[in-house]
Amino acid sequence: MSRPPLSGKTIVLGVSGSIAAYKAAELTSRLLQLGAAVQVAMTPAAARFVAPLTFQSLTHRPVITDLFAPTSDIAVDHVALAQQADAFVVAPATANTVAALAHWLAGNPGATLALSVSAPMILCPAMEHNMFDHPATQANLALLKQRGAVIVEPEEGRLASGLVGKGRLADLDVIIGTVRHVLGLSGDLAGRRIVVTAGGTREPVDPVRFITNRSSGKMGHAIAEAARDRGARVTLITTTPPPVQAAAGVDVRRVATALEMQAAVAEAVRGADALIMAAAVADYRPAAAAPQKIKKRNADGVLELQLVRNPDILASVDAPVVKVGFAAETENVLENARAKLLEKGLAIIAANDVTAPDSGFDADTNRVTIIHASGDVEALPTMPKIEVAHALLDRVKALLD
Ligand code: PMT
């Protein structure tokens, strides 16, 4: 098992007084599960929404509730603590806290703490939509952004007042993804640009039908997430429709057909370092999609579809990038994979036997054999797809270095 992605990282989590403060408890728990050490600091207003004991029980650390209490050792130590932090996350950030942070308002505990933090600041606003939309709040957020803070935009939805608008605390997956992205920026792939493809292409037959395959997109999304965590700038070209969310901090291009994927890849690889194609691309598409829904009126009960070959996307890329492919095989796995490596001019191919239940399509794990252009072959054990992703990125990094 690889180390949890946030192990060794210290996160100071500032919680301010919004009804969304209860979500900060779940956020704390998830950051801890990812291996981070979390120090919670609460404004007095936040402590009225959620008891500090909740956070203390989760983190096994005293919660900073009053930076100005003369008797509080931990408050006196806040400068040291802030200096150790790898990230300062404020979630939820109220309009008041956003203003205090923007203008370093003396007397505000959040602002006092933030003054001592040199780590990147990630702000997750949550407030009534009219407060969020107010020019004062927008100007404060712009100022903080200008100083380097990362803003995780709130979501549209039903607010505490019962009104609907933009102001709900962002989804925790998005907040955590942003934290991982920001913390990963100094990772071993920092400065690299990696293009990843995911999912099965959809080739239209008529306006309501298409030809596709069993790819869920999990393998490609895992590679994008792992590369993002290691500091790469990632472009993910995916056919997987929402609600499958791409990792925060990843530039996502959604496509449907092989031809659309080819065009997106051709554009994205310009200036990139590596292209990793985990997508299952249809080798054939209907010669022409019928303009109207095809009816079952033909007398003999047979429908003939004429299919034409799709271009080979990997083979068509001649940009100077490290090209990595996957081979989805049901028989003669290594032999077929080797042939694809040569035909497509790849540096590496990851062969997976897609007939095994714990490997290939839709599984959360995969068992791949990595074949290098040099002829080296490495058979990896069955692993979660995120670990397969890291193993492949280790090889890509070695080639780039
Ligand atoms: O998405 P999941 O459910 O997580 O499943 C993962 C996976 C099984 C889809 C993945 O591990 C995998 O094997 N992806 C490649 C699937 C595939 O199309 O294999 P292939 O052997 O047909 O193609 C070989 C390589 O050429 C692939 O990298 C493919 O992206 C690429 N290709 C294929 C056809 C084509 N016209 N252009 C291409 O570039």
Shared domain for 154 and 274, answered yes or no, is no
Q: Does the C-beta of 217 come closer than 6 Å to ligand 1?
A: yes
Q: Could you tell me if residue 1 is inside a domain?
A: no
Q: 150, 166, 183: which is the final residue of a domain?
A: 183
Average pLDDT along the chain: 92
Q: How confident is the model at residue 134 (pLDDT cuts 50, 70, 90)?
A: very high
Q: Which of 75-79, 280-284, 317-321 has the lowest mean pLDDT?
A: 75-79
Q: Which amino acid is at 139?
A: A
DSSP-assigned beta bridge partners for residue 325: 277, 349
Using 50, 70 and 90 to split pLDDT, how confident is the model at 217?
A: very high
Which pLDDT tens digit goes with each residue over 36-52? Answer: 999 999 989 999 999 99
Least confident among 67-76, 100-109, 156-165, 172-181:
67-76
pLDDT at position 252 over 70: yes
Q: Give the number of the atom of ligand 1 that is nearest the alpha carbon of residue 344.
A: 26
If one residue of 314, 333, 365 were mutated to test the ligand 1 pocket, choosing by the most ligand atoms within 8 A of its CB, it would be 314
167 and 63 co-located in one domain? yes
CB 201 within 8 A of CB 212: yes
From the list 314, 127, 294, the residue with the least C-alpha distance to 204 is 294
**Cβ of 348 below 6 Å from ligand 1:** no
Cα 209 to middle of ligand 1, angstroms:
22
Alpha helices by DSSP H, 34-168 = 44-49, 52-59, 73-76, 78-84, 95-103, 109-116, 129-133, 135-146
Whether 72 shows a pLDDT value over 50: the answer reads: yes
Q: Is 259 found in the same domain as 166?
A: no
Whether 125 maps to a domain, the answer reads: yes
In a domain, 3, yes or no: no
Instruction: State if residue 360 touches ligand 1 by the CB under 6 angstroms criterion.
Output: yes
Indicate whether 138 and 210 sit together in one domain.
Answer: no
User: What does the alpha-carbon distance between residue 222 and residue 39 come to, in Å, rounded to a whole number?
Assistant: 29
User: Does 317 sit in the ligand 1 pocket, CB within 6 Å?
Assistant: no
Question: What is the band of 333 on the pLDDT scale with cuts at 50, 70, 90?
Answer: very high
Whether the predicted pLDDT of 68 surpasses 70: no
Structure confidence at residue 247 (pLDDT): 87
**Is the CB of residue 361 below 6 angstroms from any atom belonging to ligand 1?**
yes
pLDDT of residue 70: 47
Show the beta-strand stretches assigned E in 200-310. 203-206, 209-211, 233-238, 251-254, 274-277, 284-286, 307-309
pLDDT attached to residue 242: 76
Same domain, 203 and 121: no
| Residue 117 Cα to ligand 1 middle (Å) | 45
Residue type at position 85: A
pLDDT in tens, 2-38: 778 899 999 999 999 999 999 999 999 999 999 999 9
For residues 324-332, average pLDDT: 96
In the block, tokens 């472009």 appear at 235
Average pLDDT over residues 286-291: 95
Using a 6 Å cutoff on CB, does residue 216 contact ligand 1?
yes
Look up the CATH number of the domain holding residue 386. Answer: 3.40.50.10300
130, 213, 332, 336: which is the annotated catalytic residue? Answer: 213
Report whether pLDDT(192) > 90: yes
- With cut-offs at 50, 70 and 90, classify the pLDDT of residue 65: confident
Residue of the nearest CA to atom 28 in ligand 1?
325
Give yes or no for residue 95 having a pLDDT over 50. yes
| Higher pLDDT among residues 245 and 224, named by residue | 224
Looking at residue 160, its pLDDT comes to 83
Does residue 200 line the site of ligand 1, with CB under 6 A? no
How many domains are contained in the chain? 2
Nearest atom of ligand 1 to the alpha carbon of 352: 13
What would the mean pLDDT of 315-329 be, rounded to a whole number? 96
Residue located nearest, by CA, to atom 35 of ligand 1: 312
pLDDT 10s digits, 234-246: 999 999 887 778 8
CA of 352 relative to ligand 1 center, distance in Å: 10
213 counts as catalytic: yes
Query: For 149-187, what is each residue's pLDDT tens digit?
Result: 999 999 998 888 888 899 999 999 999 999 999 998 889
Residue among 146, 60, 70 at smallest CA distance from 101: 146
Orientation of helix 218-229 relative to helix 172-184, angle to 10°: 50
Estimate the share of the chain in helix, then strand, then coil, as percent rounded to the nearest 5. 35, 25, 40
Whether residue 174 sits in one domain with residue 258 = no
Helix 21-33, helix 52-59: angle, nearest 10: 0
CA distances in angstroms from 272 to 178, 275, 319, 390, listed in the order given: 22, 8, 9, 19
Q: Which domain holds residue 141?
A: 10-183
289 assigned to some structural domain: yes
Assign 104 a pLDDT band (cuts: 50, 70, 90): confident
**CA–CA separation, 253 vs 382, rounded Å?**
30
Average pLDDT over residues 379-384: 96
Distance 176 CA to ligand 1 centre (A): 29
At residue 278, the 3 state secondary structure works out as coil
Distance in Å, CA 231 to ligand 1 centroid: 25
**What's residue 77's pLDDT?**
60
Q: Read off the pTM.
A: 0.89
Check pLDDT > 50 for residue 123.
yes
Which contiguous run of DSSP H or E holds residue 175? helix 172-184
Atom of ligand 1 nearest to the CA of 283: 36
Q: How far is CA 166 from CA 128, 146, 154, 163, 246, in A?
A: 8, 22, 6, 10, 21
Task: Say yes or no: 142 and 209 in one domain.
Answer: no
* Residue nearest ligand 1's atom 21 by CA: 327
* CB-based contacts of 401, cutoff 8 Å, min separation 6: none
